Amino acid sequence: MSLPAPIADWFARQGWTPHPHQIELFEAEDDTLLIAPTGGGKTLAGFLPTLAALMADARPGLHTLYVSPLKALTHDIARNLARPVADLGIDIRIEDRTGDTAAARRARQRVDPPQILLTTPESLALMLSYTEAPQIFGGVQRVVIDEIHALAESKRGEQLMLGLARLRSLAPELRVSALSATVEDPAALAEYLGGARIVQADPGPAPDIAMLETTHPPPWSGGGGAYAARDVMAAIEAARLTLVFINTRAQAELFFQSLWAVNDNNLPIGLHHGSLSREVRAKAEAAMAAGELRAVVATGSLDLGIDWGDVDLVIQVGAPKNVKRLVQRIGRANHRYNAPSKARIVPANRFEIIECVAALQAVAEGDLDGEGRGPVGQWGGLDVICQQILLTACAGPFDADTLFAEFRRAGPYTALTRAQFDDCLDFVATGGYALRAYDRWQRLVERDGKWHLRDPRAARMIRMNIGTITDTEKLKVRRRTGPALGEIEEGFAASLAPGDTFLIGGQTVRYDRLREMVVEVTPKPSQNPRIATFAGTKLATSTELSARVLALIGNPVAWGALPGHTQDWLELQREISVLPQPGTLTCETFLRGRAYFCAYSFAGRNANQTLGLLVTRRMEEAGLGPLGFVATDYAMLIWSMDPVRDPAPFFAPEALRDGLDDWLGENAVMKRSFRNVAMIAGLLQRNLPGQRKSGKQATFSSDIIYDTLRRHDPDHLLMRLTRAEAMRGLVDFGRVEEMLSSRPEIVHATPPHVTPLSAPLLLEVGKVPIRGMGEDRLLEEEAARMMSEAGLDGQAA
């Protein structure tokens, strides 16, 4: 079967020749996984069978479902598909359906869905929970899953695979095409999909990638890259259309300002990140698609395969953290598929230069990082299963055996056991507590062999809790009159006092007040802002890249690959402290207000996080009053009331496991895991109707629920899931044990002040507080200071 003549003609009129992988996908009669670089016409390939079928028969009803991880992508695809559909004279509706879709349109889509529906995993899960799901989806012929490599990295992918299993039950005819950027292990991804034939596109020529030459060396620390604004501006001027990627939202805001300050030719430059309001984002997207912009500064919200047309340069500000991600980002440049993509990296600080050099060496050697996931069948989280059971119940009564069989058809859950399933079912139905308190008030009840919602009103709350993204609560930011400017995290909002300033949407605003969970602000163009601490997407440097970095730092002979100033900087580290070496565990203690202790393990962020937990526990026992720590891929930094004198006992592997469970149980990392698990599994609501309006903070703190379960029911399903999750992901205990058991030589330096290598850690986000005696001492000091400032005596009885 070749392309129908009208479609082949349409290609010819565009001056295009169909790529072999587009033809291959068109001809496929089975499920497919297409691996192609950006610019390879992936999305069009996924839609060719749909266009041909609808050209022959444009009957009403949902024909093709397109799922992408990003709302922005659905808008973009709708726009791109409109052209061939119009040119080919196909009379169909293409609509998107995301959290942004207006209620009236959503309601209409339930009774009269378009032929092509573009959506996200969360909106799909929501639609599958409607009682009319069988009518909406019963006739679906094709499912196109875009950016599957990105979805498969998180629980969103697990939810989508369960949704796909549901769709296959409702519409046994349907065929799936999944589209992926370059990945290390395509076969594993195909299994994740529940089986698919792999179609490999020609990867195209090797990219032209290098560090951007800058007039000044980068600063010692910081992640903003402001020092290079002029150099980046020059590169933008020399290119047609540039995408500037930067790792966090706050950095994007600041870098955008820096660029604007040196934009002498007033080039049109846009800003795009996930904390901006939908209107602001849509404006940037439309302007870019219309060719009105010369550059866009963006974070991860643009990190996926949006087709921006004529991009000919990608600039990555800040180290790319992960070689695979770098390759995927480079793919954004140059949609002329057969010409090399051009990308330039701007390290934000001197440490990142080393990381960039190591990453460039890895790209040159074609050494992509691994996936970091367990074997197939052990991927799937049971918290996602719990949510899926609840959502299934919202759609109507279900039979447990049938549902279990359906779950097992989802790629990540092929090894799900009946016992695991029954545990999940028991939890959502009865709470699953040792104390059987809810016999009268079960959430699900079994009648005539089928499971029902006991109280149908519960469906509304369950649907509001859909999804596996458990970001911290966001508050809208707006002027007293006028549209929303964007969102900030609740925690950041709580730290603001009236009169404080911060950056959002490229402008500085002053915080006035919090009213009904909306942050009211006044524009304040002239002031120096405090920085909005958006959490952004926190990227972890891959294990492979970390090892390359340590090898480079520890081997002065190889420093020739580094710029002169970086060599000088490492030399300075060697002078005032020591250089980390493979085979050593290098530590530093210095004073900077509080006492700081830094250990360079190069064991990866998760392992360093665990190391931080274990060492702070021993510091607590030793009375040093640890206050908190932060972990990066290379090191962990602890601050405490009193300094560490001798680190060796803190790293003794013998005592490592002693009390590990107890200590882990108490700490914030476990509580964070628990919060995620409990929200996904439906124990904690994220958006209670009316709750935000009342100005109440979270009705119950997840920490309190966690502590209560830990005391009264430590073997509860959610506690087991939390432990398993933390051990697998956040904790990476195996790696810590491995490192310490090899008994590295512990080197302890006491430099006079913060060192070149430790400075970046001071600026890291994601600090973990230690709720021990140190915190009490800190709070007491703070309270006493404020009381005495106010002329009051804080007397204790």
Partner 1 sequence: MSGYAFHFAGQGFVARGSGALFWPDQDMLVLSDLHLGKSERMARRGGALLPPFETRETLDRLAAELAAVRPARLALLGDVYDDDAAAAALPEPERRSFREMLAGLELLLIAGNHDAATGVDSHEIAGVALRHIAGTGPDISGHYHPKAQLAGRARPSFLIGREHLILPAFGHYTGGLRHDCDVLRDLVPHGIAVLTGRRALPFPVRHVRPAL
Q: Nearest-CA neighbor of 532 among 542, 519, 515, 541?
A: 519
DSSP notation for 413-431? GTT--HHHHHHHHHHHHH-
Q: Rule CB under 8 A: say whether 433 interacts with partner 1.
A: yes
Q: Rule CB under 8 A: say whether 797 interacts with partner 1.
A: yes
The first and second tokens of residue 574, run together, are: 């060697």
Q: Rule CB under 8 A: say whether 626 interacts with partner 1.
A: no
**443, 478, 671, 675: which one binds partner 1 (CB under 8 A):** 443
Please state the closest distance from residue 29 (CB atom) to partner 1, in A.
45
* 146, 67 Cβ separation under 8 angstroms: yes
Interface region with partner 1, contact rule CB under 8 A, candidates 28-36, 681-689, 722-730, 754-762 = 681-689
Q: Count CA atoms closer than 13 A to 780's CA, side-chain side.
A: 9
Residues in 691-720 that interact with partner 1 by CB under 8 A: 695-701, 704-705, 708-709, 711-713, 716
Return d(Cα 221, Cα 237) in angstroms, integer: 27
Q: Rule CB under 8 A: say whether 790 interacts with partner 1.
A: yes
Q: Nearest-CA neighbor of 607 among 557, 702, 543, 527?
A: 543
Across 492-531, where does the E strand assignment appear? 501-504, 507-515, 518-523
Query: Which residue lies nearer to partner 1 by CB, 8 or 704?
Result: 704
Residue type, 397: P
Residues in the chain, total:
797
Q: Rule CB under 8 A: say whether 778 interacts with partner 1.
A: yes
Interface region with partner 1, contact rule CB under 8 A, candidates 110-118, 348-356, 437-445, 593-601 = 437-445
**What number of chain residues touch partner 1 (CB under 8 A)?**
60
The first and second tokens of residue 756, run together, are: 């070149």
Q: Rule CB under 8 A: say whether 783 interacts with partner 1.
A: yes
Query: Which residue lies nearer to partner 1 by CB, 29 or 789?
Result: 789
Return d(Cα 183, Cα 369) in angstroms, integer: 9
Query: Which residue lies nearer to partner 1 by CB, 741 or 788?
Result: 788
Work out the number of other CB atoms within 10 angstroms of the CB of residue 370. 12
Per-position x/- string for 477-516, each x denoting binding to partner 1 as judged by CB under 8 A, each - no binding: --------------x--xx--xx------------xxxx-
Query: Which residue lies nearer to partner 1 by CB, 464 or 749?
Result: 464
Residue type, 557: V
Q: Rule CB under 8 A: say whether 765 interacts with partner 1.
A: no
Q: Nearest-CA neighbor of 350 among 585, 123, 571?
A: 571
Residues in 129-148 that interact with partner 1 by CB under 8 A: none
Work out the number of other CB atoms within 10 angstroms of the CB of residue 142. 20
Return d(Cα 160, Cα 155) in angstroms, integer: 8
* 343-363 CB burial, b ≥16 within 10 A, e <16: bbbbbbbbbbbbbbbbbbbbb
Query: Which residue lies nearer to partner 1 by CB, 378 or 701?
Result: 701
Query: Which residue lies nearer to partner 1 by CB, 93 or 692?
Result: 692
Interface region with partner 1, contact rule CB under 8 A, candidates 132-140, 143-151, 605-613, 789-797 = 789-797
Please state the closest distance from residue 716 (CB atom) to partner 1, in A.
7
- Strand pairing of 484-489 and 474-479? antiparallel
Query: Which residue lies nearer to partner 1 by CB, 229 or 680?
Result: 680
Check residue 555 and give left, alpha or beta (phi > 0: left; psi -120 to 50: alpha): beta
Residue type, 737: E
Residue type, 608: N
Query: Which residue lies nearer to partner 1 by CB, 67 or 393?
Result: 393
Per-position x/- string for 445-474, each x denoting binding to partner 1 as judged by CB under 8 A, each - no binding: --------xxx-xx--x-------------
- 3-class secondary-structure state, position 589: strand
Return d(Cα 556, Cα 579) in angstroms, integer: 10
Please state the closest distance from residue 99 (CB atom) to partner 1, in A.
22
Query: Which residue lies nearer to partner 1 by CB, 60 or 695?
Result: 695
Return d(Cα 133, Cα 263) in angstroms, integer: 52
Residues in 152-171 that interact with partner 1 by CB under 8 A: none
**441, 582, 641, 676: which one binds partner 1 (CB under 8 A):** 441
Sheet holding 484-489, edge to edge: 484-489, 474-479, 518-523, 507-515, 501-504
Q: Rule CB under 8 A: say whether 795 interacts with partner 1.
A: yes
**10, 220, 398, 438: which one binds partner 1 (CB under 8 A):** 438
Please state the closest distance from residue 489 (CB atom) to partner 1, in A.
13
Query: Which residue lies nearer to partner 1 by CB, 30 or 793?
Result: 793
Work out the number of other CB atoms within 10 angstroms of the CB of residue 310. 12
Please state the closest distance from residue 780 (CB atom) to partner 1, in A.
6
Query: Which residue lies nearer to partner 1 by CB, 1 or 787?
Result: 787
The single residue listed with the structure tokens 């041909």 is 52
Please state the closest distance from residue 394 (CB atom) to partner 1, in A.
12
**194, 223, 320, 682: which one binds partner 1 (CB under 8 A):** 682
* 644, 795 Cβ separation under 8 angstroms: no
* 744, 712 Cβ separation under 8 angstroms: no
Q: Rule CB under 8 A: say whether 776 interacts with partner 1.
A: yes
Query: Which residue lies nearer to partner 1 by CB, 317 or 394?
Result: 394
Query: Which residue lies nearer to partner 1 by CB, 228 or 462?
Result: 462
Query: Which residue lies nearer to partner 1 by CB, 483 or 491?
Result: 491
Return d(Cα 566, Cα 211) in angstroms, integer: 13
Q: Rule CB under 8 A: say whether 382 interacts with partner 1.
A: no
Sequence-distant (≥ 6) Cβ neighbours of residue 584 within 8 angstroms: 744, 745, 746, 747
Angle of helix 543-553 relative to helix 350-364, nearest 10 degrees, comes to 120
Interface region with partner 1, contact rule CB under 8 A, candidates 1-9, 124-132, 439-447, 654-662 = 439-447
Return d(Cα 154, Cα 161) in angstroms, integer: 12
Please state the closest distance from residue 439 (CB atom) to partner 1, in A.
10
Query: Which residue lies nearer to partner 1 by CB, 13 or 457?
Result: 457
* 562, 350 Cβ separation under 8 angstroms: no
Q: Rule CB under 8 A: say whether 787 interacts with partner 1.
A: yes
Contact residues toward partner 1 (CB under 8 A) are 430-431, 433, 435, 437-438, 440-441, 443, 453-455, 457-458, 461, 491, 494-495, 498-499, 512-515, 682-685, 695-701, 704-705, 708-709, 711-713, 716, 769, 775-776, 778-780, 782-783, 786-787, 789-790, 792, 794-797
